[in-house]
Structure 1
């Protein structure tokens, strides 16, 4: 076992893990942060997306040991049912989820792209979200939610 000290959702923690434990398993099984979903375990679907030192990363492609000293944000750090983040509110407003399995990864991706991408068109939004897979919504509601967020960010009236 190895000790891993990191900051998760603003709280410093130290826990132990097997050297080859995946970050996704560490977050879920050791830290109890089950909002990080495990889908494909190949980095393809995006369900396990977290923010690692401010940048999105697939937690199923990282070892827990790689989180040593890192600043991690999981979907639990974004908001809660009682105090939702504006991204969560937009997804709710636009019915941008169905089964919800992919939602945490989309939320974490959207948090980053709103900070880093221009997103001038719906095609830009689709491209920015192309690393996340959803099997339920057909993406249109997700695109609408993100468009609303972009308009809000850019000061464009709805």
Structure 2
């Protein structure tokens, strides 16, 4: 008889332990800090684009799709040196194509932090993906308010239409 009671109490305590483990534990979730990043894309009249991230203070400079299509097949790209301090409107490089050569002007002021050295071996990236893989350089902006002087996408489209 005692063995039957012992067995029942063992299985009962096992059942209680199993039930306890199956009970969901309330977890206190901590709020994650809200981080707001504003990415702005602006254009120049000379067909350069800059994508600016206000969190990193970095602007990625490229030529626009309109520019690359006007140039034709790009065969050579001259880029600025890393560490170069540039001012808005400065010539920072050049693009040569089978049709023409064109200077590249700085859309913003700052310090060149990185250049796309892939363009040295694959200048045609400017034709295939001018504003993504064919970016020219990354600039740490010294005066982000200069972006206000540049065109929005809508303004740039109107500018291109008036170029025809």
Q: TM-score when scaled to structure 2?
A: 0.23
- Choose between structure 1 and 2: higher strand proportion: 2
Higher helix share: 1
